[in-house]
Structure 1
């Protein structure tokens, strides 16, 4: 039996565990709204070739079990909304052959409509991300990077937009400290949409100068009719942009890094 078709009842004892782990966090465009219609709000079920399941790609479920990864990755995490295609699977498929072997694990943590202050240390979203991240390492996998796409919810208020850089820097410091990973790579996405103070938040994202933090710019990717969420093809493209950023900045050849 192909492991992608493993019955749900068997996944509680799913035999594989990931060697290379990526945390997916932020708000709706990381969670994924590709293929979700407005009226009625349902996902069309269409999965692009770049987002198809693969035996070497796993996801950590809401119940903290490793299982085969498939779209929509956040269906049991971002439960207040209808989830569709996000950037996670296209990212994973783009990097899986460059990791030196072993399974790749995705840890969905994104929740739509959330402001960065809701991701501060001690808040429910942060604590849940931390819990899931720590759980993901219990099978001896290594967290390779945190992929972060958030900020649209901070563009309505000048006060929120002006505080974004400080809040994001604190988040990076906190998550590195709490995971005991002081050099954890962070790949953040500069938002492609938002409200009145969008450019101020983008300025903070693009101008962040911290070690092992890089940014990819989503501006120009195709938006849905709501002018907030990425179309399916844009989510796929973003996944490839995130993969390029990781492979270029953080995936040293085996001869230059710790042996696998």
Structure 2
């Protein structure tokens, strides 16, 4: 009787494929890389939005008069400030390192906020993975001098090595030094970090006052900012790193000074640079201005220390960042 042959080779391949699929489906994945964001700039990135001081415009006032539920997520059921356990901040301010879960008090002192508060809320909600925000900001610093990128100084970089405050580019170098230091010791700042690696996801910038009061710095701002973005991407090793800039919109739409207007125009124009289309966004902040009568102080260059202004800057920076990150 004739024997029929059986194609055992095909069955074997099928079995291997099934085994691979089953192994992939039921093998637990390792922890996903930590998501890292960098926030940088001058005093308004440091943050001077008051939590308690003043009769109006502080964060307590906003929460207590929150008819639309915009601030409800900042407090727990007892009314205490909520501390998130999925997003962490590192801020070395005036040689005092401040780290921990996202909450109020990561501004200039423990009773102030900056854009980091609502920015952090939004990016943390966007990701399943934990988030780290590295904040590098110093008051009274210009892009034309303190944050001046090496590439803008010429092919060979800085004429003199920036080794002390006041040297051209000193705070650009400090910014990168702090970022690299933190990234090298993530286990010290993120409790959940177990060596799973990290991804630098985006960069936020809020600065401009010191460039808008100097004509030469004002004239060079757009080109300096374009070079700054390119240099940061190169130095961090992340091409097309998403950038979000918040304009220096203090005084609101009633601002008429030519330097202030031209500085904001320069900032808004950065996103139109062909290389930046789709990966750089600029937030117009003049809508966020609140008059002194509605604020804790009459201090225009610090947004009158109004917590709502800083909250909105962080909110719209966060939304713009997510817009870039979404496919």
Q: TM-score, normalised by structure 2?
A: 0.62
Aligned with 1:174 (options 231, 238, 243): 231
Between the two proteins, the alignment pairs up a number of residues equal to 227
Moved more, 209-218 or 223-232: 223-232
Structure 1, unpaired ranges of 5+:
1-15, 77-81, 253-260
Q: In 2, Cα distance between the equivalents of 1:35 and 1:53?
A: 18
Once the two structures are superposed, residues 66-112 of structure 1 have per-residue CA deviations (whole angstroms, 9 ceiling, x without a partner) of 63233332448xxxxx972111111111221211x121111110112
Query: 1:174 & 1:71 partners in 2: Cα distance?
Result: 32
Match of 2:131 among 85, 98, 104: 104
Residue 24 of structure 1, aligned match among 39, 45, 54:
39
Q: 1:64 to 1:54 in 2, by over 3 A?
A: same
Q: Aligned residue for 2:314?
A: 239
- Mapping for residues 2-81 of structure 1, pairs under 5 Å: 19-35=34-50, 46=60, 49=71, 50-51=73-74, 52-62=82-92, 67-75=100-108
Choose between structure 1 and 2: higher helix proportion: 2
Q: Among 94, 98, 115, which residue is 2:142 paired with?
A: 115
* 162, 173, 183: which one aligns with 2:219: 162
Q: Is the 8 A contact 2:36 2:131 kept in 1?
A: yes
Matched, 1:125 2:171: yes
**Is the 1:156–1:196 Cα contact (8 Å) retained in structure 2?**
no
RMSD of Structure 2 on Structure 1 (CA): 2.9
User: 1:23 Cα deviation (Å)?
Assistant: 0.6
Indicate the residue corresponding to 1:216 in structure 2.
Answer: 283
Distance 1:213 1:111 in 2: 23
Q: What SS does the aligned partner of 1:188 have? A: strand
Q: Determine helix, strand or coil for the equivalent of 2:137.
A: coil
Give the equivalent residue in structure 2 for 1:188. Answer: 245
1:88–1:239 Cα contact (<8 Å) kept: yes
- Conserved in 1, the CA contact under 8 Å of 2:48 and 2:108? no
Partner Cα distance (2:53, 2:43) in 1: 14
Q: Structure 2: where are the runs of 5+ without partners?
A: 1-30, 64-70, 75-81, 150-161, 163-168, 187-196, 252-256
Contact 1:190/1:216 (<8 A) preserved: yes
Instruction: Quickly say closer, same or farther: Cα 1:161–1:145, change in 2 above 3 A.
Output: same
Matches of 1:65 and 1:130, distance apart in 2: 18
Decide whether the 8 Å contact of 1:18 with 1:58 is kept in 2: no
Q: 1:64 to 1:183 in 2, by over 3 A?
A: farther
